[in-house]
Amino acid sequence: MTTLDQIDVFDQERYLDGAPYADFAVLRSQAPVFRNPDPQLPEGHWAVTRHRDVVHVAREPQLFSSERKGSQPLEFDEVAIDVQRRMMIHQDPPKHSRVRTLVSRGFTPKVVEQLRPDIERECDLIVDAALEKGELDFVEAVAAELPLVVIAEVMGIPREDRHRIFAWSKAIAGESDDEHGGAELTRQAVVDMSGYATELGTSRRRCPVDDIVTRMVSADDKGNQLTEEEFQAFFILMTVAGNETTRYSIAGGVEAFAQFPGQWARLKAEPGLARSAAEEIVRWVSPTKVFRRTATADVELGGSVIKAGEKVMAHITSANRDETVFADPDVFDIGRNPNPHVGFGGGGPHFCIGKHLAVLEIELMFAALARRVDRIEITGPTPRLRSYQFGGIVGMPARVVPA
Ligand code: HEM
């Protein structure tokens, strides 16, 4: 039996095989708001692990700030945090509300639903290519390809530039993992991507077309408009947030179906389950594993007193396996209903803006696979990102067998 003093859910090594699910279960039952070790803070930080507390932290931005010290799990100096604050994910209301309102126009369920035929077509093209190859790296050939194509379409990025965007977003998201990025690569990628965003924004201002970028760089009916800097920051945030997480969901979904073959048979028999399967995949994989906040006042949560200024890590992975909310949380069930998972955040001002788009992509990809593929055999090891922040399979040798 693990004792509390052996637990460290901030140790990246413990995420190489998935996530420390057993440790999270101990924390949920014995110390739901736990003082976890932190290599940068001698006093440690607070690990919040129950579903209801994760939701509470997400919905109380005045008590749990994204802006004070940013929403990155690592500690940065004030100069660096100030640069991060250009992105809305590191802002609190009311500052956050301005950009959020402007960019939300591009991501309503109605706008996203219009993309369905295009995304369906892209899924078919990707599955065609996969079936032709037969043996492939599933992450590269399928899971990575779809979100890249979709973001490129949504943002009006020319096809020939897609792979530059992929390389930059990989370098930026891989910051906490030296094997898959490293700080220098990250810095260069941010500079290059900002330059790219400026060019794109300028060209849409000059020659408006019917796309999200044009909508974003032009004024709304009240005359509000993103500044050039706000657009750059949003462009980077969206590409990184959208590509990595959706890719990890698709790859993690294939792994889940391999572990639960009965669910694969069920999806093939009942294709209408693809939508709820997409939600269950996000619960199961929890591609964004944790979000960080800083307490603005002394506050009692889950039996612990968090002091003003202390760091709070809200563990999505743990909340998504909370046995008081989900029946059989360690079972992958594509028909799970209700499924109040917090994979896209726990509600509140920062709830994922790309949720509808991500669910549509995952739904349509698994619908296409279930229709056209008999089975996907994983033929070798599936290494993961060494990260407590993003849950990701980075390679998946596989054989795709046609239906
Ligand atoms: C399965 C895929 C995805 C997952 C699991 C995911 C997860 C999340 C989570 C947990 C947050 C909240 C972070 C926090 O509270 O600090 C978030 C925010 C965000 N996501 Fe997603 N996301 C996904 C896909 C996308 C896509 C496709 C896009 C863009 C097209 C996107 C854009 C964003 C943005 C811009 C924010 C910041 C919102 C704000 O600060 O107001 N995400 N996402």
pLDDT digits (tens, 9 = 90+) for 202-255: 999 899 987 778 878 888 888 888 888 888 888 888 888 888 899 999 999 999
What region does 44 belong to: left with phi over 0, alpha with psi -120 to 50, or beta?
left
Quickly list DSSP for 330-390: TS--TT-SS----TT-SSSTTS-TTHHHHHHHHHHHHHHHHHHEEEEEE-S---B-S-SSB
Report how far ligand 1's centroid is from the alpha carbon of 351 (Å): 7
28 touches 322 (CB < 8 A): yes
**pLDDT average, residue stretch 183-198:** 88
Query: Which residue lies with its CA nearest to atom 6 of ligand 1?
Result: 344
Q: What is the pLDDT of residue 179?
A: 56
**pLDDT average, residue stretch 49-78:** 97
- CATH number for the domain spanning 151: value is 1.10.630.10
CA distance 394 to 385: 6
CA distance 10 to 41: 12
48 touches 32 (CB < 8 A): yes
CA atoms within 13 A on the CB side of 269: 8
Report how far ligand 1's centroid is from the alpha carbon of 44 (Å): 27
Report how far ligand 1's centroid is from the alpha carbon of 242 (Å): 7
Q: Which pLDDT band holds residue 41 (cuts at 50, 70, 90)?
A: very high
pLDDT digits (tens, 9 = 90+) for 96-140: 999 999 888 888 899 899 999 999 999 999 999 999 999 999 999
Nearest-atom number in ligand 1 for the CA of 345 is: 10
Report how far ligand 1's centroid is from the alpha carbon of 377 (Å): 30
Number of domains the chain contains: 1
Give the DSSP H/E element, type plus range, for residue 224: none
- Residue from 284, 397, 250, 323 nearest 19 by CA: 284
CA distance 281 to 341: 10
User: C-alpha distances in angstroms, 236 versus 9, 69, 165, 167, 230?
Assistant: 28, 20, 9, 12, 10
CA distance 259 to 255: 6
Nearest-atom number in ligand 1 for the CA of 343 is: 5
Q: What is the pLDDT of residue 181?
A: 52
Q: Which residues line ligand 1 (CB under 6 A)?
A: 58, 66, 71, 88-89, 100, 237-238, 241-242, 245-246, 249, 282, 287-288, 291, 343-345, 349-350, 352-354, 357-358
Q: What is the pLDDT of residue 330?
A: 98
Which of the listed residues 149, 245, 320, 365 should we mutate to test ligand 1's pocket, taking the one with most ligand atoms within 8 A of CB? Answer: 245
Q: What is the pLDDT of residue 209?
A: 86
CA distance 316 to 49: 8
**pLDDT average, residue stretch 359-363:** 98
Report how far ligand 1's centroid is from the alpha carbon of 245 (Å): 8
Q: What is the pLDDT of residue 174?
A: 63
Lowest mean pLDDT among 128-132, 252-256, 310-314, 392-396: 392-396
Q: What is the pLDDT of residue 180?
A: 53
Taken as a whole, the chain contains a residue count of: 403
**pLDDT average, residue stretch 267-293:** 97
Report how far ligand 1's centroid is from the alpha carbon of 285 (Å): 15
Which of the listed residues 56, 351, 352, 390 should we mutate to test ligand 1's pocket, taking the one with most ligand atoms within 8 A of CB? Answer: 352
Query: Which residue lies with its CA nearest to atom 7 of ligand 1?
Result: 344
Nearest-atom number in ligand 1 for the CA of 285 is: 5
Q: Which pLDDT band holds residue 182 (cuts at 50, 70, 90)?
A: low
CA distance 90 to 106: 20
**pLDDT average, residue stretch 79-85:** 92
Q: What is the pLDDT of residue 151?
A: 86
CA distance 315 to 20: 11
Structural domain boundaries, residue 258 = 4-402
Query: Which residue lies with its CA nearest to atom 32 of ligand 1?
Result: 354
The distance of Cα 63 from the centroid of its chain, to the nearest Å, equals 24
Q: What is the pLDDT of residue 178?
A: 55
